[in-house]
Amino acid sequence: MLNRLRRMRRTESLRRLVRETTVRPSDLIYPIFVREGQTEPEPILSMPGQSRLPVGHLADAAKEIQDLGVGAVLLFGLPSHKDEAASSSRAQNGVVQQAIRAMKISAPELVVMTDVCVCAYTPHGHCGVLKGEEIDNDSSLPLLAQMALSHAQAGADVVAPSSMMDGQVGALRELLDAEGFSHTPVMAYSAKFSSAFYGPFREAADSAPSFGDRASYQHDFANARHAQRELLDDIDEGADILMVKPGIAYLDIVLRARELSDLPIATYAVSGEYSMIKAAAERGWLDEKKIVLETLTAFRRAGADLVITYHAKEAAKWLSNN
């Protein structure tokens, strides 16, 4: 027997020497829910360990995250006012705009990314504006672009359109460029599938659709080639980072994205993935730390440069003690 693959697996030092994939805290992006008109953090019941934070807590939160070496945060807003035109989503003093300013003062080195979508800002909870019961793609685009611009004006480092309207990346890019923000990158939720894994998030962000579902704008989870077309579209529209979402059940899409493009690839380990791990760990059925480090490594192995994860803070601690 000439080949004995076990030779390189015999000791931990040998395994470490030939390890192909690593995860660093700086590869991780931590999602934060910020709620307007609140003074205390509000625990999210379906996501143990996560809370909706008041703006007043973000300066300290940002410092903690920066000190842990986590690569970036991704902000989601819960406004106190919702209307059909999602007007609070682009208000200069909107909840996310205030949050960005607070974080940038306390932790200037921390990369602040923002979610750009109107679902938490409209009473109907859909990701675009409505015409009757239809989501009106083209009249949603200028609203999304204005929202992204107001985030950039408040100091956001990266804007991330997640509404799945056709042309959203290009619409953001054009307005940002016209208004002096040609330096602000767009992270495109390109391969965002219509998924039951988003369940806990909708409780967290108070953004569940009041009728119907998101299947007319998010990808059918049966379709890989269709998602690939959207990845290509977003590249053409000027995306700077491509995202695949959810994560764990979509590693084939991560690999496709990696093979398709040299742009940085991000994958989002979404709320349902987090909740499943937490629930099993609470019962003692899984070892949380080991599962998290294994899944994060798997995302990176499949080709993701960046992983958006609610476990970012804990993982950063585990990784630095390794």
Amino acid making up residue 185:
P
Name the one range near ligand PBG by CB under 6 A: 53-61, 88-96, 113-121, 250-258: 113-121
Name the one range near ligand PBG by CB under 6 A: 62-70, 94-102, 176-184, 194-202: 194-202
- Alpha carbon separation from 46 to 74, 91, 198, 219, 271 (Å, rounded): 19, 30, 11, 25, 9
| Contact flags string 205-244 toward ligand PBG, x per CB under 6 A | ---------x------------------------------
Is 101 one of the binding residues for ligand PBG (CB under 6 A)?
no
Close Cβ partners of 300 (under 8 Å, ≥ 6 residues apart): 21, 22, 23, 27, 307
Phi/psi zone of residue 126: left (φ > 0), alpha (ψ -120 to 50 degrees), beta? beta
Q: Which of 127, 143, 154, 187 binds ligand PBG (CB under 6 A)?
A: 127
Q: What is the number of other CB atoms lying within 10 angstroms of the CB of residue 166?
A: 15
Smallest distance, ligand PBG to C-beta of residue 212, A? 12
Nearest to 154 by CA among 106, 110, 90: 90
Smallest distance, ligand PBG to C-beta of residue 272, A? 6
Cα(175)–Cα(172) distance, integer angstroms? 5
Size of the site for ligand PBG (CB under 6 A): 11
**Residue closer to ligand PBG, measured from CB, 59 or 208:** 208
Is the four-CA dihedral 85, 86, 90, 91 of positive or negative sign?
positive
Is 28 one of the binding residues for ligand PBG (CB under 6 A)?
no
Smallest distance, ligand PBG to C-beta of residue 86, A? 12
Is 175 one of the binding residues for ligand PBG (CB under 6 A)?
no
Q: Is 104 in the active site? A: no
Q: Is 290 in the active site? A: no
**Residue closer to ligand PBG, measured from CB, 15 or 48:** 48
**Residue closer to ligand PBG, measured from CB, 82 or 214:** 214
Q: What is the number of other CB atoms lying within 10 angstroms of the CB of residue 250?
A: 27
Query: Of residues 82, 104, 192, 313, which has the active-site annotation?
Result: 192
Is 198 one of the binding residues for ligand PBG (CB under 6 A)?
yes
Q: Could you give the residue ranges of the DSSP H alpha helices within 110-196?
A: 137-154, 168-178
Cα(12)–Cα(132) distance, integer angstroms? 62
Name the one range near ligand PBG by CB under 6 A: 77-85, 114-122, 166-174, 283-291: 114-122
Q: Which of 75, 119, 145, 253 binds ligand PBG (CB under 6 A)?
A: 119
**Residue closer to ligand PBG, measured from CB, 179 or 206:** 206
DSSP states of 177-225: HHTT-TT--BEEEEEEB--GGGHHHHHHHT---SSS-STTTSBPTT-HH
SS3 252: helix
Catalytic residue positions, numbered: 192, 245
Footprint of ligand PBG (CB under 6 A):
115, 117, 119, 127, 162, 198, 201-202, 214, 270-271
